[in-house]
Amino acid sequence: MPETIIQDELKPHVSPAQERWDIFKRNKMALASGAFLILLFVIALVGKAVTAGTDPLIDPSTVRLTQKLLPPMTPFESGEVAEEDAPLFGIYLLGTDDFGRDLFARMLEGTFVSLTVGFVAVGISMTVGIFLGGLAGYYGRVKFGFLTIDTLIMRAVDIMLCFPTFFLILTVVALLPPSIYNIMIVIGLTSWMQTTRLVRADFLALRDQDFVIAARSQAIPEWRIIFLHCVPNAMAPVLVSATIGVATAILTESALSFLGFGVQPPDATWGNILADGRTLIFDAPWLTFIPGITILFVVLAFNLCGEGLREAFNPKLRQTR
Amino acid sequence: MLAFIIRNIGQRLILLVFISIIAHAIVHLAPGEPSLVDPANPRMKAEDIERIRAAFHLDDPLHVQYFYWMRDLFTGELKSFKDNQPVLKKIWERFLNSVPLFILATLITWCVAFPIGIKAALARGTPFDKSTTFLAYFLISFPGFFLSYILIIYLVQTFDIPVISMRTFGLEDAGTWTRINDRLWHLTLPAIMTAIVGVAVLSRYVRSQMLEVIHHDYIRTARAKGLSEDAVIYKHALRNALLPFITMFGLMIPGLISGSVIFEQIFAWPGMGRLGYDAILSRDFPVILTLNFIAAVLTLIGTLVSDVLYALADPRIKF
């Protein structure tokens, strides 16, 4: 088949995905961060599996009042506490808190909750951002009354940018009944502006491209053109800002916990373990430093990974290679 | 030029009306009312709650409440729910406390971030660039209050820096110089903490802006016609790289108010952030709303000034 041969020769030797992966690989810190994050997802899932349910393998909420504030690596002694309340491997890997709860089990439980807060909040802000940005970019010139849709949406973005974000989050979270879902939703709904701007900027260029006109000529419904044809082409900057958004959401949750409005007990997150531990910073420094340094490293990994992705998706870097 | 400014002011006034409506709606639609703060108080009877609700107009429809808020705000008669003090006076007192913190933090941010960012961009790929990049991400990733606690413990133990409130208790009769010195030391740590994240973020922006500009044709032209490297970098590249930062000035204002909530809480600094936090705790709607409103006004003024400055600084922009 001669046509196929010609097409094969025209094809670039490296696929775009391969090219991006090569650039991402050159940034050693981003690569290490990516590996660390994948490991973290595994830990979060395993942690969820062993700490959830009615009869978990290790129970993060077991209270052992005789074993308060034990430093990390203290072996478990079964004299005063029942044998079934023993921590994993019979040792308090990360010590215990002021209720005698095993910090290792609580950190494991918190891994899943903290990451869920980050991912759901970012998921909400990405959905809103892509939807509004896509509408503003694609239907930019359509009049709606005497204003264009583009003007309406971008003025909404301007309005949201005028609010002091953290103060707004704090107000709403404090007024609503305390619940982990409210925190995720509020963080998500106050951080969609940047995504909207990025998606809109990409759509302004995309809407006049040949493949969009071709799709339109085939009478493909417009929602399909927007969400199945255009959105995948505008995903690169969104992906980068999503990665960094997860980091920001985890930090926001810990700041809310510090002020007493974070995720409430019995759910453990890194943020509320850190916030509860700070009153005991002289007596039990591990209660502050272990969650604090965990947050630091995880957020750092998300940020460095985002930076690596930004480089990998940057067309300028691709050309100069 | 004048038409441009007037049109901009008009657009911003419309935005301000929408912002105030949205803020009012968010605060009033959320459950939780001033009368519910202390339901266990045995001295609060049902008729007391009725009386409070009537006094605060909480039973009226939302748009009527909005009208009352706007009327009282502009006649200056808006009273706090909590202690019946005029809201504007309360905020103004706290604002005066926050201003030195804002100014010092902003100064530190800009004075440290620009040299680092420029140096990192010029020395791209060197150990200096890589280490400042890593350091910037490291500082962004630190939970603010965790870093503050570590710094407080370390600095108080080694250097004996005061960290609580704005002045040392009992120094009221000391000499002027001692008091000024005391105030400055109290200011140091909160200002540094507020500035740290700013330095990290801004130095990254400066670096990427500088890198963007350095690859333009006119830089190559400047080099080709034999200008000294200093003239190329500081006259041609830096001036163009600085342009976007004029617009950042206005958008930084809400961040300053937001960021101050945490740090004023840690350092017991009686500023606007703490006022807001206390108002949220006691459901003091007029204070919350007015703080939001003032933040929005400051931001809009900031963006207006930076738009005008941008137009003045960049001859390519026409009206």
How far apart, in Å, are the Cα atoms of A116 and each of A47, A48, A61, A75, B259?
13, 11, 20, 32, 24
Written as tens digits, the pLDDT of chain B (319 aa) is 788 889 888 888 988 999 899 888 888 877 766 666 565 666 667 777 777 777 777 777 888 888 888 888 888 778 777 777 888 888 888 888 888 888 888 889 889 998 999 889 888 888 998 899 889 999 989 888 888 888 888 888 888 777 777 777 776 777 788 888 888 888 888 888 888 888 888 888 888 888 888 888 888 898 898 888 888 888 888 888 888 787 777 777 777 777 778 888 888 888 888 888 888 888 888 888 888 888 888 888 888 888 888 888 777 766 5
Residue B193: what are its φ and ψ, rounded to 5°?
-65, -40
- Residue B112 CB neighbour total at 10 angstroms: 17
Residue B91's pLDDT is what? 87
Nearest to A102 by CA among A294, A295, A287, A296: A287
With an 8 Å Cβ cutoff, is A307 touching chain B? Answer: yes
Nearest to B265 by CA among B256, B280, B275: B275
What span, in angstroms and rounded, lies between the C-alpha atoms of B96 and B223?
49
Considering its fold, how many domains does chain B have in total? 1
Measured between beta carbons, which residues in chain A are less than 8 angstroms from residue B281?
Answer: 174
Residue B200 domain boundaries:
99-282+301-313
pLDDT at A130 over 90: yes
With an 8 Å Cβ cutoff, is A67 touching chain B? Answer: no
Measured between beta carbons, which residues in chain A are less than 8 angstroms from residue B296?
Answer: 162-163
What residue of A is the nearest CA neighbor of B254?
A: A164
CATH number of the domain residue B105 falls in:
1.10.3720
pTM of the model as a whole: 0.86
- In this structure, is residue B63 part of a structural domain? no
Percent of chain A with pLDDT over 70: 89
- In this structure, is residue B278 part of a structural domain? yes
From A159, A247, A254, residue closest to B22, measured CB to CB: A159
Q: Inter-chain contact B137–A271, Cβ cutoff 8 Å?
A: no
Q: Which residues contact B45 (CB under 8 A, 6 or more apart)?
A: none
- In this structure, is residue B59 part of a structural domain? no
What residue of B is the nearest CA neighbor of A251?
A: B143
Q: Is the peptide bond before B315 cis (omega within 30 degrees of 0)?
A: no
Q: How confident is the model at residue A131 (pLDDT cuts 50, 70, 90)?
A: very high
- In this structure, is residue B305 part of a structural domain? yes
- In this structure, is residue B135 part of a structural domain? yes
Q: Inter-chain contact A288–B300, Cβ cutoff 8 Å?
A: no
Q: Inter-chain contact B292–A163, Cβ cutoff 8 Å?
A: yes
Nearest to B163 by CA among B139, B191, B195, B140: B191
- In this structure, is residue B184 part of a structural domain? yes
Q: Inter-chain contact B18–A166, Cβ cutoff 8 Å?
A: no
| Nearest CA-CA distance, residue B108 and chain A, Å | 21
- In this structure, is residue B204 part of a structural domain? yes
- In this structure, is residue B202 part of a structural domain? yes
Strand A147-148 to strand A143-144: parallel, antiparallel, or no bridges (unpaired)? antiparallel
**What is the residue-averaged pLDDT of chain A?**
83
Measured between beta carbons, which residues in chain A are less than 8 angstroms from residue B280?
Answer: 170-171, 174-175
Decide if the complex's ipTM is over 0.90. no
What span, in angstroms and rounded, lies between the C-alpha atoms of B290 and A249?
27
Are A87 and A102 contacting, i.e. CB atoms less than 8 angstroms apart?
yes
Q: Inter-chain contact B281–A155, Cβ cutoff 8 Å?
A: no
Measured between beta carbons, which residues in chain B are less than 8 angstroms from residue A288?
Answer: 146, 149
Residue A319's pLDDT is what? 47
Q: How confident is the model at residue A320 (pLDDT cuts 50, 70, 90)?
A: very low
Residue A7's pLDDT is what? 60
Q: Which A positions 29-58 lie with beta carbon below 8 A of chain B?
A: 29
With an 8 Å Cβ cutoff, is A176 touching chain B? Answer: yes
What span, in angstroms and rounded, lies between the C-alpha atoms of B161 and B189?
8
Are A126 and A242 contacting, i.e. CB atoms less than 8 angstroms apart?
yes
What span, in angstroms and rounded, lies between the C-alpha atoms of A86 and A78?
8
Find the length of chain B: 319
Q: Which residues contact B245 (CB under 8 A, 6 or more apart)?
A: B205, B206, B209
